Amino acid sequence: MVNTMRGKTVMWLGIGVLGAAGVLAQETQLPSTAIKIDLPKDSPVAFLTLDPRDSRFAARGGAIMVDLDALLTMRNTSANRIHGITLRVVSQEVTMGGKASVCIPRLNIAPGEVFPVHIVQHLVRPTAFASGPLVEVSLDGVLFQDFSFYGPDQLHSRRDMIAWEMEAQRDRDYFKRILTNGGRSALQQAMLREMDRPQLDRPTMQRGPAVSSAALAAGERSERFAFVSFPDAPVELVDGAAVVAGNQVRAPRIEVRNRGTLAVRHVEVGWLVKDPSGREYLAASVPSSQPDLQLTAGKTVAFAQDASMKLSRNGQPLDIRGMTGFVSQVEFSDGKVWVPSSRNLDETALRNVLPPSAEALRLTELYRKGLDVLVAELNKP
Amino acid sequence: MRAIKHPSEAALALHAGGDLGPIAQWRTARHLRRCRVCREELAAFQGVRRVVAEMPSEPEIPWNRLAAEMQANIRLGLAAGECAGGNLPASHSVFGFTGWRAALALASLTVVVAAGLMLRHPAAPAGQTVLEATADGIQVRRGGESLGMKHGAGTGNVSYSASAQGSIGESYVDPVTGDVTMTRVSW
Contacts of B133 in chain A (CB under 8 A): 202-204
Beta bridge partner(s), residue A299: none
Nearest to A128 by CA among A60, A66, A64, A67: A64
Helix (H) or strand (E) holding A184: helix A157-195
Nearest to A291 by CA among B83, B32, B58, B165: B165
Give residue A265's domain range: 205-209+219-344
Phi, psi of A264 (to 5 degrees): -115, 140
How far away is chain A from the Cα of B103, in angstroms, using its nearest Cα?
A: 25
pLDDT confidence tier of residue B59, bands split at 50, 70 and 90 = very low
Report the pLDDT value the prediction gives residue A296, as an integer from 0 to 100.
Answer: 95
Interface residue A198 vs chain B (CB under 8 A): no
Amino acid at site B143: G
Distance of CA A182 to the CA centre of its chain: 32
On the question of pLDDT at A144 being above 50, the answer is yes
Cα–Cα distance for residue pair A337/A325, rounded to 1 Å: 19
Do A190 and A270 lie in a common domain?
no
Do A335 and A271 lie in a common domain?
yes
Report the pLDDT value the prediction gives residue B125, as an integer from 0 to 100.
Answer: 53
> Which stretches of B135-179 are assigned E, i.e. beta strand?
137-142, 145-150, 159-163, 167-173
Do A213 and A306 contact (CB within 8 A), yes or no? no
Give the residue from B118, B171, B177, B185 with the most A CB atoms within 10 Å of its CB, the best one to mutate. B171
Question: What is the ipTM for the molecules in this complex?
Answer: 0.87
Cα–Cα distance for residue pair A356/B124, rounded to 1 Å: 37
Task: Give the number of other CB atoms < 10 A from CB of residue B17.
Answer: 20
Task: Give the number of other CB atoms < 10 A from CB of residue A100.
Answer: 28
* A 267-306: CB under 8 A from B: 271, 282-287, 289, 305
Q: Work out the angle between the directed axes of helices B99-120 and B63-82 (0-180°, nearest 10).
A: 160
Nearest to A127 by CA among A182, A74, A64: A64
A261-278: b (≥16 Cβ within 10 Å) or e = ebebbbbbbbbbbbbeee
Task: Specify the higher pLDDT residue, A66 or A225.
Answer: A225
Cα–Cα distance for residue pair A125/A64, rounded to 1 Å: 5
Among A2-11, A65-74, A270-279, B161-170, whose mean pLDDT is lowest? A2-11
Amino acid at site A291: P
Helix (H, G, I), strand (E, B) or coil at A91: coil
Strands A35-38 and A135-144: parallel
A214-236: b (≥16 Cβ within 10 Å) or e = eeeeeeeeebebebbebeebbbb
Rounded to the nearest 5 degrees, what angle is found at the Cα of A243, between the Cα atoms of A242 and A244?
A: 115
User: Are A203 and B131 an interchain contact pair (Cβ–Cβ within 8 Å)?
Assistant: yes
Do A223 and A242 contact (CB within 8 A), yes or no? yes
Cα–Cα distance for residue pair A186/B39, rounded to 1 Å: 78
Report the pLDDT value the prediction gives residue B121, as an integer from 0 to 100.
Answer: 44
Do A118 and A50 lie in a common domain?
yes
Report the pLDDT value the prediction gives residue B29, as an integer from 0 to 100.
Answer: 87
Cα–Cα distance for residue pair A354/A28, rounded to 1 Å: 42
Task: Please provide the size of chain A in residues.
Answer: 381
Give a yes or no: residue A8 inside a domain.
no
Interface residue A25 vs chain B (CB under 8 A): no
Cα–Cα distance for residue pair A268/A163, rounded to 1 Å: 11
On the question of pLDDT at B148 being above 80, the answer is yes
Tell me what the pLDDT averaged over chain A comes to.
88
Q: Name the residue ranges covered by the structural domains of chain B.
A: 9-120, 130-186
Contacts of A323 in chain B (CB under 8 A): none
Cβ-Cβ contacts under 8 Å between A and B: the total is 216
pLDDT confidence tier of residue B27, bands split at 50, 70 and 90 = confident
Cα–Cα distance for residue pair A190/A175, rounded to 1 Å: 8
Please give the average per-residue pLDDT across B165-183, as a whole number: 94
Cα–Cα distance for residue pair A83/B76, rounded to 1 Å: 64
Dihedral over Cα of A254, B127, B139, A99: its sign: negative
Give the residue from B140, B165, B176, B185 with the most A CB atoms within 10 Å of its CB, the best one to mutate. B165
Task: Give the number of other CB atoms < 10 A from CB of residue B54.
Answer: 8
Contacts of B22 in chain A (CB under 8 A): 23-24, 26
Task: Specify the higher pLDDT residue, A253 or A22.
Answer: A253
Nearest to A94 by CA among A67, A69, A122, A126: A126
Cα–Cα distance for residue pair B132/B162, rounded to 1 Å: 9
Domain count, chain A: 3
Report the pLDDT value the prediction gives residue B62, as an integer from 0 to 100.
Answer: 45
Task: Specify the higher pLDDT residue, A136 or A18.
Answer: A136
Please give the average per-residue pLDDT across B91-100, as a whole number: 51
pLDDT confidence tier of residue A211, bands split at 50, 70 and 90 = low
Do B99 and A84 contact (CB within 8 A), yes or no? no
User: Are A204 and B131 an interchain contact pair (Cβ–Cβ within 8 Å)?
Assistant: yes
On the question of pLDDT at B3 being above 60, the answer is no
Among A169-178, A181-190, A236-245, B3-12, whose mean pLDDT is lowest? B3-12
Give the residue from B50, B168, B181 with the most A CB atoms within 10 Å of its CB, the best one to mutate. B181
Contacts of B54 in chain A (CB under 8 A): 131
On the question of pLDDT at B1 being above 90, the answer is no
Among A180-189, A191-200, B39-48, B151-160, whose mean pLDDT is lowest? B39-48
How far away is chain A from the Cα of B67, in angstroms, using its nearest Cα?
A: 20
pLDDT confidence tier of residue A43, bands split at 50, 70 and 90 = very high
DSSP secondary structure of B52-108: HHHSPPGGG--HHHHHHHHHHHHHHHHHHHHIIIIIS-TT-EETTEEHHHHHHHHHH
Report the pLDDT value the prediction gives residue B106, as an integer from 0 to 100.
Answer: 66
Cα–Cα distance for residue pair A219/B174, rounded to 1 Å: 43
On the question of pLDDT at A25 being above 70, the answer is no
pLDDT per residue as tens digits for the range A92-114:
666 667 789 999 998 999 999 99
pLDDT per residue as tens digits for the range A117-134:
999 999 887 765 456 788
CA-only gyration radius of chain A, Å: 24
On the question of pLDDT at B84 being above 70, the answer is no
Do A60 and A90 lie in a common domain?
yes
Contacts of A287 in chain B (CB under 8 A): 163-165
Do A318 and A373 lie in a common domain?
no
CATH of the domain at A338: 2.60.40
Give a yes or no: residue A9 inside a domain.
no
Do A237 and A227 contact (CB within 8 A), yes or no? yes
Do A30 and A79 lie in a common domain?
yes
Give the one of A121, A128, A271 whose C-beta lies nearest to B148's C-beta: A121
Task: Specify the higher pLDDT residue, B33 or A48.
Answer: A48
Give the one of B116, B165, B171 whose C-beta lies nearest to A305's C-beta: B165
Report the pLDDT value the prediction gives residue A135, as an integer from 0 to 100.
Answer: 86
User: Are B173 and A365 an interchain contact pair (Cβ–Cβ within 8 Å)?
Assistant: yes
Interface residue A24 vs chain B (CB under 8 A): yes
Contacts of B160 in chain A (CB under 8 A): 199, 202-203, 355
Task: Specify the higher pLDDT residue, B147 or A10.
Answer: B147
Please give the average per-residue pLDDT across B51-64, as a whole number: 43
Side-chain half-sphere exposure of B109, counting CA atoms within 13 A? 23
Report the pLDDT value the prediction gives residue A26, as an integer from 0 to 100.
Answer: 61
User: Are B119 and A127 an interchain contact pair (Cβ–Cβ within 8 Å)?
Assistant: yes
Cα–Cα distance for residue pair A350/A329, rounded to 1 Å: 14
pLDDT per residue as tens digits for the range A320-349:
999 999 999 999 999 999 999 999 999 998
Among A165-174, B139-148, B175-184, whose mean pLDDT is lowest? B139-148
How far away is chain A from the Cα of B36, in angstroms, using its nearest Cα?
A: 25
Do A100 and A88 contact (CB within 8 A), yes or no? yes
Contacts of B124 in chain A (CB under 8 A): 95-97
pLDDT per residue as tens digits for the range A278-323:
999 999 999 997 777 889 999 999 999 989 999 999 999 999 999 9
Give a yes or no: residue A12 inside a domain.
no
